[in-house]
Structure 1
Amino acid sequence: MKNEHYLELDYLKGIGIILVILGHSFFFTGFDLVNKERYFGYYYIFNFIYSFHMPLFFIVAGFLSNKEYGIKYFYISKIKRLLIPYIFINIIDYIPRHLFSSFVNNSSNSLVRVIFYSGVATWFVYTLFMIFLIFPVLDKYIFKKDKYYIFLYFLLIINMLNLEIFNVNIFTLNRIVFYLTYFYFGYILKNYYEKIKQNKCFNNGLLYVVLSIFSIFFLYKYSENNITKVIYPFIGFMLCLKFSLSLKRYKNIKFLEFCGKNSLIFYLLEPFFAAIYRVGLVKVIDLKNHYIIVILFFSLKLISIYISAIIINKIKILSFLFGNKKKI
């Protein structure tokens, strides 16, 4: 049975990966742009992006995982889609990180770190793969049971309590516990998605206003406790989902669709271009205006990654190594 394609999810991932690139553009400028006292505007935008942009991808992953599958095909597909790109990009990352250690912020990327601690800049791929390793068990014995929602409450509570017992870095167990909450929420959302889209309250423009006002207030308190950190991603996701559905309703935006479909490539390439342009803009050209640096840093990275993704899609072996679903 052919799986249904959701164009709005491509838009959603496109928005998410653009926010990742923008969020990273506030780093490494030498201006400490996420300092609340000195640059409140940057601080606010940064917190807004970081409050939900990565949970968004786990929600989408959980949503798309709610389907029938064979165990063998499931694991093979995840190895191709996640594990091979993870290994490949960390091999590529190792060489320049050690040869040009003076130009990077972290020169350490040992084999131990790659195997047990998700590498330097690939934690998302590693954590998602680890969730998929245990997914069939969770799916059979928890997700598909009658009182499946109790597990979601359990995850919400333990993350709000921030229990020390779950604060374990090896195999990114701490991240698995946190992001499994959003993965599972996406899984459950799939069951009610069509009804939600047809609901008058969801389609009412007033919901935009309510969510926006609530998010502004909530974000101001975002970093003050674990409750806001756990809840806020749901608000950011709903705002982006409504926006994505609006875009789907009125226009077919190829750029955003391409970014979404190739979001993994964008994620894997971003640290390399970030290092290149950081050195160029800050150390070589020595720009002093932080507005110009942020704009150039963001736009140059986005354009370069976009062009690179087009090239990668045209070369089968590269497409395979970056996790695209193309056969060699």
Structure 2
Amino acid sequence: MRYGFVKSPGRNESIDIARGLGMFLVIYGHVLQILFHRRMDGGFSQIAFAQWQAIYSFHMPLFFMISGMIANQFSGKSWKQVAHRSIYLILIAYIVDVIGTSFTVIHQGASAISKSKVEDYLINHIALAESFSTITVWFLVAFAVVRLASYSILRYTGIVRWFIVAILIVSFVFSYDCPNAFHIRAVAPGVVFYMIGRYLALRPIGIYAALSPVLLAISLWLAHYNGGCTFGWQSSCENPELPGHFAVLMIFGLYGDLPLFFLTATIGSLAVIGFAKLLVNTKLSPILGFMGRNSLGLLIINGFYLAFVNPFLRNVIDINDTIIFYVALGSLATLAHIITLLLTKPVLSCIESIAQRIAQFSVGILWLALARFRADTRHAETGT
């Protein structure tokens, strides 16, 4: 992570700003939940929910698309290098989850430890990477798999490429009949947005920057028309914690009407990327660029705010549906995250370092095993 507010040489500032805008939407979207989700007073702000619903219609696809726009990230990379990065991201999710789970045990005491909860942790957290104590790191797991799938599609051609695409489609369709292991329900859509970003990187279309306000308005309008099930055979597809209300939730594979989801998410993501181009060299660019360059750290921190601070805030902050209140809420939440990021630099750096070392060791062992397997196979074929 890069903790300075001055942009790094060689980096695409508009990409950093776009990622920073996306990170702001993550922070703001999560803090909005305190105004309608699990409030002890039963309050439910329709205005807060409408904003949340609109944000969730495109903010996670945005990150996949931005990643695809970094056109050279696979340039000259081997399978080993790509696998290393993906394993590194998954390890960060596991390490953060261990820390978050430790916080939960400390907070809840002995009641947090039981046979059923230990079994749940070993199965859903460790084996399936489906559930995490701080929630937000789910994206790191999904993105790690999306990177591997995207690299496979770009690396191979012909029938092999189409076979990989077919596997992604089939796994997506049938993922609703099995556990959401490694967030498989987000992988195929994530690959689609990654490839859109890849296309934009190779064939830039400048017009969407000028049209970004119009694109954003269309996306926000379309978001409120989405709902229902992704596939007709699904018996239930609403968020059980928000009965009667629909919002896109990639973490659970809740997309509503699939064509409308892709249209809304694509238009909304293009709008944000367009706004980022317009914000280059403005007064907002240093802070948004900083947030973009440190999006991994902010994502980790946001998970702890979501898991441990939101439950407190939703019972002490009254609903106030005024513009001033929402501006203050978003600004203060963002400021709190930036301050926390700066204060926890040593911890975040330690997490990254540990994940990096384990990833290097794991990939080394894996590739050594593969090399031995290939050697044994050749010996068996030649009879030597």
Q: TM-score range by the shorter chain?
A: 0.7 to 0.9
What does residue 220 of structure 1 align with?
224
What code does the residue aligned with 1:264 have? Answer: L
Say whether 1:138 aligns with 2:150: no
Secondary structure of the corresponding residue to residue 227 of structure 2: helix
What does residue 17 of structure 1 align with?
23
Secondary structure of the corresponding residue to residue 223 of structure 1: coil
Deviation (angstroms), 1:181: 1.2
Q: Deviations over 1:22-66 (max 9, x none)?
A: 111122446679xxxx64422321121001100111112222235
Say if 1:215 and 1:232, in contact at 8 Å, map to a contact too.
yes
In structure 2, C-alpha distance between the alignment counterparts of 1:273 and 1:210, rounded to whole Å: 33
Say if 1:223 and 1:229, in contact at 8 Å, map to a contact too.
no
What does residue 55 of structure 1 align with?
61
Say if 1:265 and 1:322, in contact at 8 Å, map to a contact too.
no
Aligned partner of 2:174 among 158, 165, 170: 165
Q: Structure 1: which 4+ aligned runs deviate by more than 6 Å?
A: 150-156, 292-296
In structure 2, C-alpha distance between the alignment counterparts of 1:266 and 1:66, rounded to whole Å: 25
In structure 1, C-alpha distance between the alignment counterparts of 2:166 and 2:275, rounded to whole Å: 30
Aligned partner of 2:192 among 181, 191, 198: 181
What code does the residue aligned with 1:270 have? Answer: N
Aligned partner of 2:299 among 243, 262, 267: 267
Say if 1:278 and 1:297, in contact at 8 Å, map to a contact too.
no
- Alpha carbons of 1:24 and 1:63: their partners in 2 closer, same or farther (altered >3 Å)? same
Deviation (angstroms), 1:220: 3.0
Say whether 1:237 aligns with 2:266: no
What code does the residue aligned with 1:179 have? Answer: G
Identity of aligned residues (%): 19
User: For 1:66-145, what aligned pairs fall within 5 Å after superposition?
Assistant: 66-80=74-88, 82-101=89-108, 110-114=121-125, 115-120=127-132, 121=135, 122-142=137-157
Deviation (angstroms), 1:238: 1.1
In structure 2, C-alpha distance between the alignment counterparts of 1:245 and 1:75, rounded to whole Å: 32
Say if 1:8 and 1:244, in contact at 8 Å, map to a contact too.
yes
Secondary structure of the corresponding residue to residue 25 of structure 1: helix
What does residue 360 of structure 2 align with?
none
In structure 2, C-alpha distance between the alignment counterparts of 1:31 and 1:140, rounded to whole Å: 44
Gaps of 5+ in 1: 324-328
What does residue 326 of structure 1 align with?
none
- Alpha carbons of 1:317 and 1:48: their partners in 2 closer, same or farther (altered >3 Å)? same
Gaps of 5+ in 2: 1-8, 229-256, 357-384
In structure 2, C-alpha distance between the alignment counterparts of 1:77 and 1:247, rounded to whole Å: 30
What does residue 320 of structure 1 align with?
353
- Alpha carbons of 1:31 and 1:59: their partners in 2 closer, same or farther (altered >3 Å)? closer
Say if 1:274 and 1:297, in contact at 8 Å, map to a contact too.
no
Say if 1:58 and 1:183, in contact at 8 Å, map to a contact too.
yes
Aligned partner of 2:309 among 264, 272, 277: 277
How many corresponding residue pairs? 299
Say if 1:19 and 1:49, in contact at 8 Å, map to a contact too.
yes
In structure 1, C-alpha distance between the alignment counterparts of 2:14 and 2:104, rounded to whole Å: 37
- Higher-helix-fraction structure: 1
TM-score scaled by length of structure 1: 0.76
- Alpha carbons of 1:50 and 1:30: their partners in 2 closer, same or farther (altered >3 Å)? closer
What code does the residue aligned with 1:24 have? Answer: H
Q: Deviations over 1:94-120 (max 9, x none)?
A: 11223434999xx88602212313332
Say if 1:66 and 1:187, in contact at 8 Å, map to a contact too.
no
Q: Deviations over 1:292-326 (max 9, x none)?
A: 98667644542232123223446643553587xxx
Q: Deviations over 1:216-260 (max 9, x none)?
A: 432231335222112111111111111100111545722111111
Say if 2:23 and 2:291, in contact at 8 Å, map to a contact too.
yes
In structure 2, C-alpha distance between the alignment counterparts of 1:44 and 1:72, rounded to whole Å: 44
Deviation (angstroms), 1:20: 0.6
Say if 2:23 and 2:299, in contact at 8 Å, map to a contact too.
yes
In structure 2, C-alpha distance between the alignment counterparts of 1:232 and 1:96, rounded to whole Å: 37
The structure that has the greater radius of gyration is: 2
What does residue 310 of structure 1 align with?
342
Secondary structure of the corresponding residue to residue 288 of structure 1: coil
In structure 1, C-alpha distance between the alignment counterparts of 2:94 and 2:216, rounded to whole Å: 40
